Amino acid sequence: MNLSKSLVVAKADIKMAMNYKYVKFGVLGMGAMGPLFSVLSVPMIYILDPNASSYIEFILPYISSMLAMFAIIPAALISANSFVGEREQNTLEPLLCTPLTDMELLVGKSLSAFIPSILILVFGTLITEIASNILLFAFGFPMMLIPDMPGLFLVFASGPPMIFVVVFVMIIISGRVSRVYEAYQVSGVSVLVYIFSMLVPTMFIGSSMPFGQVIWFTNILTFMISILLLLITSYLALRMFNRDRMITQI
Amino acid sequence: MELNNEVIINNLVKRFDEIVAVNEVSLEVPAGSIFGLLGPNGAGKSTTLRLLCTLLRPDSGTASVAGHDILEEPVNVRECTGVLPEEGSHTLYPSLTSYENLEYFAKLYDVPEEEAKKRIEDLLKFMDLWERRNDPAGELSTGNRQRLALCRALLHNPSVLLLDEPTSSLDPIAAKRVRELILKLAKQYGQTFFINSHNLAEVQRLCDYIAIIDEGKILLSGRTDELRRRLQSKQVFKLRVADNIETAKSIAEGLDFIFDVSIESDSLMLTILDPVSNNSVLIRKLLNANIAIIELAEEEMTLEDLYLQVIKEEEQ
């Protein structure tokens, strides 16, 4: 497999996707939304209520889940455009006539969605950590990890596999849907995995189990679910990627 | 002399559910020749082309392009073919400029950077698109987009070009230039062309070999000049008589070497088998019946007549 060819495809796909306003503003908006939401929540709670430390631990799981969720949505936007959008605008046929192998094409298309999403995930988390602590420091509160350690685990352990899950779901459905927005909606459902990491901890509020353990348990479980989804979707995507089906839908 | 065939198709079959789009098609296209596949809409032309460029997998049968099997070596087939898909003008990336569209494909076809720059410039200049190189493809006219799509097919200097309706949506001048380019490439560089077309006049002017396809089946194939000769053996004549046109019609209908007798205004249109021998028989019969002949003239037959005749025979 020639990785440089895949990178050519990825670069072109990102460039072309960004030419669409809804993708450009979607990616930029989602990239900004995670840090904005996080920075405004925890430090603002502290600022508004100096005694917030007693319940702040209940807010932190939402921050990491939100950061991961907002980083995955751009992957759905770009990959919908990259797979179904190519077919919708009739550019897929000449692309499939080039000497790209199926694997080079799949890797290229996957990277076009993965690269922006992973950048949003990493920089979004970094910006959240820095900006939150600048705010806390400015108002005289102790500095802290936002997201905290279990949150960072959730973001960096389950985020990358979930980005790939979105891409693989797109490959699976690309032969079955004909419109970009349908593809985007279907693959976007993948972000619901983070509803799990948001909801489960709330069920343990008031229980005898230490809340920190509940968060670790939930996040490890979310990570395992994301790995399981990755295995299932990658298996199905590689089996179901079919030039015939993609072309006959044109 | 045995010709080296660049495209060989053996009993190729492609089905879409119940529909047999390509039905045991067998063809051979010699290297350096221009081959035209003619047929009405839905005849199976585009499916045949898509099978050859490995976009579709056949249900049965085999084919090879430039010595590479379409099933065993699809990447090699794609390396040595340049494809202009159906409605090629709509297959460009609208947000990329003309230059960027070609640059992107040059990279995918592994054309070295310097060579790619030169080829892109040469092709854009040849197609009168150099001034529009920085315009997004989506802002070009349909004709300009079609020419740009043709540049893309020629970019990596392929040995076989698979063109689906290459001059559709082009104005007459641009279409003429494309035909000249095809002839030049075939003659100077020995490139083989497999062209799908509805345009019979174009095929007649361009192609060395022709096949007629309908409902997925090849009805007729051969060298263009051979098919023209075949036309000579059965030709349409226009007979003008002074009067008694109905009597002349019944005499003509009574002769076993005359087919398709019809009256068109003041003339009879007759299809005569082996006219060189049989025309004198017809004239004698008419004169014996006291019919004054004003004119018996050969109607010029084109491939279109042959095409319509073959389609008609198939329907019957």
- Which residue type, as a one-letter code, is found at position B136? P
Cβ–Cβ of A99/B94 closer than 8 Å? no
Report the Cα B173 to chain-centroid distance in Å: 19
Instruction: Please tell me the predicted confidence (pLDDT) of residue B61.
Output: 94
Whether B132 has its CB under 8 Å from any CB of chain A: the answer is: no
Structure confidence by residue, pLDDT tens digits, A125-152: 999 999 988 888 888 888 888 888 999 9
Least confident piece of the model among A93-107, A192-206, B212-226 = A192-206
Residues of A within 8 A of B75 (CB-CB) are 99, 101
Q: For residues A173 and A167, what is the distance between their CA atoms, to the nearest angstrom?
A: 10
Query: DSSP secondary structure string, B130-190?
Result: GGGTTSBGGGS-HHHHHHHHHHHHHTT--SEEEEESTTTT--HHHHHHHHHHHHHHHHHS-
Residue B150 contacts residue B137 (beta carbons within 8 Å): no
Q: For residues B72 and B9, what is the distance between their CA atoms, to the nearest angstrom?
A: 14
Residues 66-85 in B contacting A (C-alpha not used; CB under 8 Å): 75-76, 78-79, 81, 83, 85
For an interface test with A, the pick among B104, B113, B151 (most A C-beta atoms closer than 10 Å) comes out as B104
Token readout for A206 is 């008031």
Cβ–Cβ of B105/A98 closer than 8 Å? yes
Dihedral sign of CA atoms B37, B42, B44, B47 in order: positive
For an interface test with A, the pick among B72, B90, B93 (most A C-beta atoms closer than 10 Å) comes out as B93
Residues of chain B with pLDDT under 50: 1-2
For an interface test with B, the pick among A19, A93, A100, A102 (most B C-beta atoms closer than 10 Å) comes out as A93
Q: For residues B271 and B250, what is the distance between their CA atoms, to the nearest angstrom?
A: 14
- Which residue type, as a one-letter code, is found at position B263? I
Instruction: Please tell me the predicted confidence (pLDDT) of residue B277.
Output: 82
Residue B213 contacts residue B27 (beta carbons within 8 Å): no
Place of tokens 């100077």: B188
Residues of B within 8 A of A5 (CB-CB) are 107-108, 110
Nearest chain B CA: its distance from A136 CA (Å)? 45
Instruction: Please tell me the predicted confidence (pLDDT) of residue A58.
Output: 75
Q: Which residue from A94, A243, A248 is facing B16, i.e. has the nearest CB?
A: A248
Residue A114 contacts residue A167 (beta carbons within 8 Å): yes
Please tell me whether residue A95 adopts helix, strand or coil conformation: helix
Residues of A within 8 A of B92 (CB-CB) are 91
Whether A94 has its CB under 8 Å from any CB of chain B: the answer is: yes
Task: Return all residues near B15 (Cβ < 8 A) that are at least 6 apart.
Answer: B21, B59
Residue B230 contacts residue B306 (beta carbons within 8 Å): yes
Whether B286 has its CB under 8 Å from any CB of chain A: the answer is: no
Output the CA–CA distances (angstroms, integers) from residue A70 to A162, A217, B100, B202, B293, in the order listed.
12, 22, 32, 56, 89
Beta-bridge partner residues of B8: B28, B64
Q: What are phi and psi of B35, to 5 degrees?
A: -110, 135
Interhelix angle A56-80/A193-203, rounded to 10 degrees, is 170
For range A93-118, the mean pLDDT: 91
What are the structural domains of chain B?
5-224 (3.40.50.300), 233-315 (3.30.70.100)
Please name the residue of chain B whose CA is at the shortest distance from the CA of residue A88.
B91
ipTM of this complex:
0.81
Q: For residues B51 and B44, what is the distance between their CA atoms, to the nearest angstrom?
A: 11
pTM, rounded to two decimals: 0.79
Output the CA–CA distances (angstroms, integers) from residue B314 to A97, B220, B232, in the order listed.
34, 11, 20
Nearest chain A CA: its distance from B88 CA (Å)? 9
Beta-bridge partner residues of B25: B12
Cβ–Cβ of A97/B152 closer than 8 Å? no
Residues of B within 8 A of A12 (CB-CB) are 93, 96, 104
Band the pLDDT of A102: cuts 50, 70, 90.
confident
DSSP H or E segment with residue B40: none
Residue range(s) defining the domain that contains residue A201: 3-248
Please name the residue of chain A whose CA is at the shortest distance from the CA of residue B16.
A248
Q: For residues A110 and B162, what is the distance between their CA atoms, to the nearest angstrom?
A: 30
Q: Which residue from B92, B94, B108 is facing A5, i.e. has the nearest CB?
A: B108
Closest CA to B303 of B237, B195, B239, B226: B226
For range A39-58, the mean pLDDT: 77
Q: For residues A213 and A150, what is the distance between their CA atoms, to the nearest angstrom?
A: 9
Closest CA to B130 of B156, B161, B99, B174: B99
Q: For residues B130 and B117, what is the distance between their CA atoms, to the nearest angstrom?
A: 12
For an interface test with B, the pick among A92, A97, A105, A247 (most B C-beta atoms closer than 10 Å) comes out as A97
* Count of structural domains, chain A: 1
Q: For residues A67 and B31, what is the distance between their CA atoms, to the nearest angstrom?
A: 59
Cβ–Cβ of A97/B83 closer than 8 Å? yes
Instruction: Please tell me the predicted confidence (pLDDT) of residue B49.
Output: 95
Closest CA to A81 of A217, A203, A197, A183: A183
Cβ–Cβ of A94/B55 closer than 8 Å? no
B228-235: which pairs have CB atoms within 8 A and are 24 or more residues apart? B228/B303, B230/B306, B231/B301, B231/B305, B231/B306, B233/B273, B233/B274, B234/B259, B234/B271, B234/B272, B234/B273, B234/B274, B235/B271, B235/B272, B235/B275, B235/B298, B235/B299, B235/B301
Instruction: Please tell me the predicted confidence (pLDDT) of residue A81.
Output: 86
Residues 96-115 in A contacting B (C-alpha not used; CB under 8 Å): 96-101
Q: Which residue from B55, B81, B93 is facing A91, i.e. has the nearest CB?
A: B93
Q: For residues B35 and B196, what is the distance between their CA atoms, to the nearest angstrom?
A: 9
Structure confidence by residue, pLDDT tens digits, A206-245: 777 777 888 888 899 999 999 999 999 999 988 887 777 6
Instruction: Please tell me the predicted confidence (pLDDT) of residue B315.
Output: 65
Strands (E), chain B: 5-16, 19-30, 34-38, 60-65, 68-69, 81-84, 160-164, 192-197, 209-214, 217-223, 234-241, 258-264, 267-273, 293-298
Task: Return all residues near A143 (Cβ < 8 A) that are at least 6 apart.
Answer: A133, A136, A137
Residues 17-36 in A contacting B (C-alpha not used; CB under 8 Å): 19-20
Whether A245 has its CB under 8 Å from any CB of chain B: the answer is: no
Residue B7 contacts residue B27 (beta carbons within 8 Å): yes
Instruction: Please tell me the predicted confidence (pLDDT) of residue B153.
Output: 93
Whether A142 has its CB under 8 Å from any CB of chain B: the answer is: no
Residues of A within 8 A of B54 (CB-CB) are 97, 243
Pairing of strands B293-298, B258-264: unpaired
Total count of residues recorded for chain A = 250
